[in-house]
Structure 1
């Protein structure tokens, strides 16, 4: 689970960190709580969940190569015996944070946090090969964050951790474990709005990340957000320095201009504090990525990183599965462009990615849209509002999936050609019958809708 050749943890250190008892001496190279992800030399943490109990998979974990386990039960294999494995994971994460001198960056936001986290990792890994660490996948909750910390080698120079929330108070707890030197809010938008009374309440919940800042820490805040001042107010008691980023005049780190690049990305000229300008190519297309890049540069500068090296990394940034990966699908004598945004969706990210679809050079533009979840009583409003974005982007055809999309279907009547169906399997069948060379196809929806199956099927994965 880690590139370090030295053991990540030894049993004595684990036992001390989690207040447990080791039945033998062992060393581990990684940490996992899912037996399916256990590799050779890993520590398996057997936790009891709402629908499963990790202790039932201890044999499988050791068969997969686990070197030891954290367990609430005595077993014959090497293990640390604890009263509560979930508490033990938290303590192991805290111990990992306590033992490192790394510069720690925390990232949250209604959209863009995983992409920003991954891009920051690429930038800092370019500066310090094998000494940069980040949370994998979207491990950003009360289990994923301590797991990601526990996986961080003690000699890391940089650690980048994504933190998510869908209720007030969650980020306050997570940031106190991460204790970042730099904390970023990418954006505030109506994601999980069903759990909050207002967008202002979402902004306040995002602002909780600043409460965990280390002394002398830096808060990085979106200048163009209508909640900028609210976030600045939240950061002020904790941050020694507040840096704004964005596209508007007045941002501390600002994109002065940007134009499409020949490789499908964007050529950007940015201004930073203490720098006249930095010109670089960003491989990811879209204005939303231009803004994210400003946050990334602000963070690199805040931890004393090499901005030129960061610019090179951004030029080579690979697309993330489910978050903007681009595939060229062979169709007859040509190809169709498939844009994979299948992992998540909220009104802000929908608007941004539909807008980018409208800028793609293509013979036809097709949007395959799944429902947005956790929007509460305003769900119909936000879904219907997508009609304007689709029309403005000159989308030729829309495939709408899920009951929540019925209202969008009504709003599109007479504006954009569409079909409305029940699930991803239906959409795949429709898309296969419709797609042809020269098309640009956007696939976007909440992860629970399962649109990733469409991407897998069209790119050679499972059908």
Structure 2
């Protein structure tokens, strides 16, 4: 479906957000928080980061065509370009909220310790016949949500928003902005647990999404006690009756090979039924995970590099991110294969006092290779750099092997994936 382009940051929205009395440009094209990529007609917000202060780059933004500069300081720029506020982040949140409130789109919000992005991508597949816009990449922070909504060029039929948190109170802000009609909490686990009290605290924080959900929510059992009484909800634990629903069981979703993606698809299909979307079951069967999110690669040890020979092995590329919840799901996926199983794991971040606990592992796989000094294991081989792992894999890989490569994005597991692709690509 073709989207009709229109500007959503109108003069009325600007006046409401910034209490401006004078005439406002009607050619505002969006927003930016990065002076290096600001586009002509955008509003540049001077965000103070951990390293850089956006106020120092206001002149650069103007030079690239920024229409306005939102600042907490008096700046030496043309005053008709300056919008001075007490708090730049709060002003950005308010602008985002005002634009969201003007949208007619049905909004679907997705959060969880693991599976947020893959669930979003599955929903894009399921709703592909509809007029949809979704959060780009992993723009799931407060700034990412603002960039997604404020840079919309149309009011779609469906807006799919991915929401992620690293700290307490962030979900309350994200959810109040998103104000979704439907919400999905994929999983609750110890991701970023170093910033929270315990797993129940994570569940409580994630469940702020339910407070702002307008129609129907899907979430694990641990979140039930935080669900508002007036909200329709469905518990999506693997042992719940939801997963045995006949319509879902009989759908083409079960042509997808990976249990974690089947589980994530269940609420998507039920939302599609609520919205009377006819082709969702067929569309979602075409879903394939994006790179680094447990996508499957077939490689060959044969010097001719063809898949027609008998030297093919498989890698599961989970190198984009890792936490204890997504790691366990990936190990379960690996264990579902009958072949020899090799797990290559990088360290996980933001686990705080639980770091040692979640890095003490012995999974039921044939060969366990661990990268980094955080790991302890009775059965695993611990190596200190990715080159050692590449050398070791070169020696042991044989045909029909299934190799899981999983690690936080800050680790070098992605470099191991790159090496294998270049060395053994068919």
Alignment TM class, shorter chain as reference? 0.7 to 0.9
1:198-256, Cα deviation, whole Å (9 max, x unpaired): 32222222222111123xx212123xx4x2xxx223113351x11233542x52x3246
Report the alpha carbon displacement of residue 176 of structure 1 after superposing the two structures with TM: 0.9
Task: Please give the secondary structure, in 1, of the residue aligned with 2:236.
Answer: strand
Structure 1 position 111 matched with structure 2 position 128: no
Pair 433,69 (structure 1): closer, same or farther in 2 beyond 3 Å: farther
Pair 35,331 (structure 1): closer, same or farther in 2 beyond 3 Å: farther
Could you say which residue in structure 1 is the equivalent of 2:315?
A: 338
Alignment of 1:191-210 (within 5 A): 191-210=191-210
Determine the C-alpha separation between the residues in 1 that align with 2:35 and 2:276: 37
Report the alpha carbon displacement of residue 28 of structure 1 after superposing the two structures with TM: 4.8
Structure 1 position 325 matched with structure 2 position 316: no
Give me the CA root mean square deviation.
3.2
Report the alpha carbon displacement of residue 441 of structure 1 after superposing the two structures with TM: 2.0
Task: Please give the secondary structure, in 1, of the residue aligned with 2:202.
Answer: helix
Q: Which moved more, 1:96-105 or 1:195-204?
A: 195-204
Q: Say which structure, 1 or 2, has more relative contact order (CA 8 Å, 6+ apart).
A: 2
Could you say which residue in structure 1 is the equivalent of 2:5?
A: 6
Could you say which residue in structure 2 is the equivalent of 1:263?
A: none
Could you say which residue in structure 2 is the equivalent of 1:120?
A: 123
Task: Please give the secondary structure, in 2, of the residue aligned with 1:91.
Answer: helix
Determine the C-alpha separation between the residues in 2 that align with 1:300 and 1:136: 21
Determine the C-alpha separation between the residues in 2 that align with 1:375 and 1:350: 14
Determine the C-alpha separation between the residues in 1 that align with 2:161 and 2:257: 24
Report the alpha carbon displacement of residue 111 of structure 1 after superposing the two structures with TM: 1.2
Gaps of 5+ in 2: none
Pair 297,39 (structure 1): closer, same or farther in 2 beyond 3 Å: farther
Pair 58,305 (structure 1): closer, same or farther in 2 beyond 3 Å: farther
Determine the C-alpha separation between the residues in 2 that align with 1:455 and 1:429: 13
Determine the C-alpha separation between the residues in 2 that align with 1:289 and 1:66: 43
Q: Which residue of 86, 89, 92 corresponds with 2:89?
A: 86
Does structure 2 conserve the Cα–Cα contact (< 8 Å) formed by 1:213 and 1:238? no
Does structure 1 conserve the Cα–Cα contact (< 8 Å) formed by 2:8 and 2:154? no
1:256-296, Cα deviation, whole Å (9 max, x unpaired): 6xxxxxxxxxxxxx546xxxx64214565322222111122
Determine the C-alpha separation between the residues in 2 that align with 1:32 and 1:284: 38
Determine the C-alpha separation between the residues in 1 that align with 2:61 and 2:93: 20
Gaps of 5+ in 1: 257-269, 413-417
Task: Please give the secondary structure, in 1, of the residue aligned with 2:374.
Answer: helix
Report the alpha carbon displacement of residue 59 of structure 1 after superposing the two structures with TM: 6.6
Pair 8,123 (structure 1): closer, same or farther in 2 beyond 3 Å: farther
Q: Which moved more, 1:23-32 or 1:446-455?
A: 23-32
Alignment of 1:294-333 (within 5 A): 294-302=266-274, 304-306=275-277, 308-332=278-302, 333=305
Could you say which residue in structure 1 is the equivalent of 2:18?
A: 19
Structure 1 position 235 matched with structure 2 position 201: no
Does structure 1 conserve the Cα–Cα contact (< 8 Å) formed by 2:383 and 2:389? yes
Pair 305,68 (structure 1): closer, same or farther in 2 beyond 3 Å: farther
Could you say which residue in structure 2 is the equivalent of 1:260?
A: none
Does structure 2 conserve the Cα–Cα contact (< 8 Å) formed by 1:164 and 1:171? yes
Does structure 2 conserve the Cα–Cα contact (< 8 Å) formed by 1:26 and 1:78? no
Determine the C-alpha separation between the residues in 2 that align with 1:69 and 1:353: 46
- Structure ranking higher in strand proportion: 1
Could you say which residue in structure 2 is the equivalent of 1:254?
A: 243
Report the alpha carbon displacement of residue 369 of structure 1 after superposing the two structures with TM: 0.2
> Could you tell me the TM-score, scaled by structure 1's length?
0.77
